[in-house]
């Protein structure tokens, strides 16, 4: 089946198997491997992307369900060679170790900050509780998101 999906502002048309998951469409068909794959039961959250502006777990979305919709991935966080404050925060505050959960964490964090520019630690913890960091850098992840909140000079990038 042919699908057209706008990913990070760019339109992609591909013939896909109807059983293809969005996560594998992004990774294997578009080469956007920043979106990771970890559990298939939507628990770990490493596959989190935005679908029409809302974070979803792309391991439980079929590629054909994204037909005609807009997806944003970690590769779409950076603007004109400048890291999003969330990305910068994860680097500055050591919000990562192995880095596998990082893209999903950042996409949820970006969504949180777009809707709540000054979240409390409690709100950050709650927001990213659908995602697992096994290393586990939870303390630093919270600090990273706070760093981004405090350094958001760029406009909300919805």
Partner 1 sequence: MSPAIGGTLARLDGRAKVSGSARYSGEVPIPHLAHAVLIGAPVANARITAVDATEAEQSAGVLAVLTHLNLPKVAMQPSLLPSLAGLAAPGHTFFPMQDDTVHYAGQHVAVVVADTLERAEHAATLVRIDYDTTPPVTLLEEIKDQAYEPQKIFGGLLPGRQVRGDIEAGLRDAEVRVEAMYEFAANHHNPIEPSTTTAAWDEVGRLTLYDGIQGPTSTQLTAAAFLGVPPAQIRVVSNYVGGSFGSKAMVWPHATLAAMAARHVGRPVRLALNREQMFTSCGHREQQRQHLTLGARADGKLVAVRHHKLSLTSHFDDWAEPSLQSPAIIYDYPNYEGIYRLGRGNINTPTFTRAPGEATGMFAMESAMDELAERIGVDPVELRLRNCSDTDPATGDPWSSSGLRECLERGAELFGWAGRDPRPRQRREGNWLIGTGMATAAYPHAQPVNPQRARARIYSDGSVIVEAGVSEFGTGISTAMTLVAADGLGVTVDQVRFAGGNTDMPNITAAVGSAGAGAASAAVHLSVTALREQLIGMAVADEQSPLHGADPAAVVVEGGRMALRDRPDAGETYSAMLQRKLVPDVEAIGNWIPPAQDVGHGMHTFGAQFAEVGVDAELGLIRVRRMVGVFAPGRVLNRRTAHSQLMGGMLWGLGQTLLEATRMDARSGRWANASLADYLVPVNADSPDVVVDTVEVHENVVNPLGVKGVGEIGVVGVAAAIGNAVYHATGYRARSLPIALDDILSQAS
Binding region for partner 1 (CB under 8 A) = 17, 19-20, 24, 27-28, 31-41, 43-44, 46, 73-75, 77-78, 83, 87-88, 90-92, 94, 96-103, 106, 124-126, 128-142
48 beta partners = 57
Contact predicate 143/92, CB 8 Å: no
Q: Least distance to partner 1 from the beta carbon of 75, Å?
A: 5
Q: Least distance to partner 1 from the beta carbon of 39, Å?
A: 4
Instruction: Work out the number of other CB atoms within 10 angstroms of the CB of residue 84.
Output: 22
Contact predicate 89/151, CB 8 Å: yes
At 114, which helix (H) or strand (E)? Answer: helix 102-115
Listed residue (61, 53, 5, 56) closest to 29, CA to CA: 5
In terms of CB distance, is 51 or 143 closer to partner 1?
143
Distance of alpha carbon 11 from alpha carbon 37, whole angstroms: 23
Q: Least distance to partner 1 from the beta carbon of 40, Å?
A: 6
Q: Least distance to partner 1 from the beta carbon of 106, Å?
A: 7
In terms of CB distance, is 51 or 144 closer to partner 1?
144
Pairing of strands 10-15, 70-72: unpaired
In terms of CB distance, is 27 or 51 closer to partner 1?
27
Backbone φ and ψ of 121, nearest 5° = -55, -40
Q: Least distance to partner 1 from the beta carbon of 36, Å?
A: 7
In terms of CB distance, is 9 or 31 closer to partner 1?
31
- Token duo for residue 106: 């950042």
In terms of CB distance, is 3 or 101 closer to partner 1?
101
């Amino acid at each position: 089946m042919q699908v057209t999906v706008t990913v990070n502002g760019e339109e992609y048309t591909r013939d896909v198997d109807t059983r293809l998951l969005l996560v594998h469409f992004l990774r294997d068909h578009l080469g956007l491997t920043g979106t990771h794959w970890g559990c298939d039961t939507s628990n770990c959250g490493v596959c989190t992307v935005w679908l029409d502006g809302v974070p979803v777990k792309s391991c439980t979305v079929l590629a054909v369900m994204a037909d005609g919709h807009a997806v944003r991935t970690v590769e779409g966080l950076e603007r004109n060679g400048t890291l999003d404050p969330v990305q910068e925060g994860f680097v500055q505050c050591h919000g990562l170790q192995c880095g596998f959960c990082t893209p999903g964490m950042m996409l949820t964090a970006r969504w949180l900050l777009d809707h709540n520019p000054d979240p409390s630690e409690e709100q950050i913890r709650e927001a990213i509780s659908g995602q697992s960091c096994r290393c586990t850098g939870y303390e630093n992840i919270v600090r990273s998101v706070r760093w981004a909140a405090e350094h958001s000079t760029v406009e909300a990038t919805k």
